[in-house]
Structure 1
């Protein structure tokens, strides 16, 4: 089936299921605009197709998807053409997946980050194998956890989502299952069988129940208690003060504090407010909020500087503006959340 994705994404109808396969393994299945448009068109067709009972998305290679095509975004922004249209279509797709009326099964075997999270973790069934690694690492490049991060991160247990969003740290399948990122865990060797059962039965719950293999939580209880204690604070300033107080005698607190101090002060303040606000918003409202933030980020400095330091020059020494948390003006953070004069994200 051809929905316009070219060689980057494949669509197939098998039995009672529609299958999507990300086919850019050399780029770790980085999500580009072509893929976004094609997947949106496929979901539009399959939503009303009486012969499609379930949709499943999977990927070739060692990664499910390591995120968006950051280099293209960087080059377009520096050329004076920030890719607002790319993000608008991506965010609309994220919202479409979240409201898709049929079971949407993400089979995640390998890395899933950023844009890859957006096309998987809003689905009704999120399956991770022992090879899965999840992260929302946007804060490490001066950005914010978008693609619906403001919706699903605050809904994870034990303030785990605030911790993941502010640090960008990776977790494996056991933590993903415990926290609610994943709904099911299985073994990679069972994925082909799941695909066959989805095609045969069209019943996602049955296929995944048969292949379910429980995964043990990786993070120790004491660390989870520390995450809940520190990241439940009502402001970013109080989170950091809590970590500072504990750092002298607590390795986790010291390590986490060092991570936060290395991040863009602007990006971290925006991310904290975004995740906090998302607790009270529905998915569409979250996507409109993220689109507001996105437009301001694309006009700013830290996002491009973060990409330069991490991917272009690879010096690992971003020069954030402002450089310190003490220099942050709350009015400038507020501006990221203001309504857009040129119109909000249409959903």
Structure 2
């Protein structure tokens, strides 16, 4: 058991509160395991009509997974470290298929693993402090936890853009991109939660919840992503290869293209190639096929170089100067990337 996650029943609701506040509510293995076990219990509990998940404090919903633990563990035992992802991905799949309405209050930082326990639910309510990102290419990972399913399905190439660049999105951008379903201002957020908890949910719980969310919905204001949408659509859509995308950016004379190339130059070349392939395949896969694919990839990343170097440079030493290996896109072949997607035999992720 763990005291970093709390489960309570309030009225018709099963309420999950992430309590790892010192670590911005980051998910560790015990939290993921406990969450999945509780969700399975509540799925068959007739007194629970819906699920609400929230983060403790006012800084974060969930800033991701326990990267420091993964870094230390995988150095010595990559197979054991990968079991965290197995539990996390099984939880992501359970949320995606959950038989009852699932509401995530995503005010505050919401990145990586936090996205995995929010974006696959029915409702995602952004607030004034919402800050979304999938920044994994900058630490030698890839946007997992089902990123290969929801990101290719965002319109106008926006998902691929977020996946490769790790670009951040506040509430208005989350609404414009389709990452959030609703926005409620921070001065209304507590009242919204009270209204949800007080609701008597009948046979039409989904509609009842949506009506409450709509009643408290506000206007998050101008979405900067919309200023970039035409450039993103023009440059990030309809490429069969990452090389084609990079050439389009290089040949373009816009400030957006130049800024994007500068951003991508800092990312792990291996992660970029993996991520492009993940998005390409994931756009044609169902959710559980994506999760199985992502587990194959992450299992092999735990045996490589760039994850350890990325975490060292960005999180531990903070010198912001990772030494990627290979150090350029040109040094990575299609065969190199295909290896990450090969089946794992007895170690495959089994769902549900």
TM range (shorter): over 0.9
SS at match of 1:292: helix
Which residue matches 1:285?
A: 289
Say whether 1:340 aligns with 2:337. no
Offset at residue 220 of structure 1 (A):
5.6
Offset at residue 26 of structure 1 (A):
1.0
Say whether 1:172 aligns with 2:178. no
SS at match of 1:339: coil
Which residue matches 1:308?
A: 312
Once residues 108 and 188 of structure 1 are traced to their aligned partners in structure 2, the CA distance between those partners, rounded to angstroms, is 11
Relative to structure 1, the CA distance from residue 291 to residue 89 in structure 2 (aligned partners, 3 Å threshold; closer, same or farther) is same
Once residues 155 and 43 of structure 1 are traced to their aligned partners in structure 2, the CA distance between those partners, rounded to angstroms, is 26
Offset at residue 79 of structure 1 (A):
2.3
Say whether 1:243 aligns with 2:245. no
Offset at residue 191 of structure 1 (A):
2.4
Once residues 342 and 41 of structure 1 are traced to their aligned partners in structure 2, the CA distance between those partners, rounded to angstroms, is 24
SS at match of 1:342: helix
Relative to structure 1, the CA distance from residue 258 to residue 195 in structure 2 (aligned partners, 3 Å threshold; closer, same or farther) is same
Conserved 8 A contact 1:175-1:216 = no
What stretches of structure 1 move > 4 A for 4+ residues in a row? Answer: none
Which residue matches 1:271?
A: 275
Question: Which of residues 224, 231, 253 is equivalent to 1:226?
Answer: 231
Once residues 220 and 291 of structure 1 are traced to their aligned partners in structure 2, the CA distance between those partners, rounded to angstroms, is 30
Count of equivalent residues: 341
Offset at residue 192 of structure 1 (A):
2.1
Conserved 8 A contact 2:131-2:168 = yes
Offset at residue 199 of structure 1 (A):
2.1
Offset at residue 222 of structure 1 (A):
4.5
Say whether 1:212 aligns with 2:217. yes
Question: Which of residues 22, 28, 52 is equivalent to 1:26?
Answer: 22
Offset at residue 198 of structure 1 (A):
2.0
Conserved 8 A contact 2:176-2:223 = no
Once residues 118 and 319 of structure 1 are traced to their aligned partners in structure 2, the CA distance between those partners, rounded to angstroms, is 29
RMSD between aligned residues: 1.2
Structure 2: 5+ residue stretches without partners: 202-207
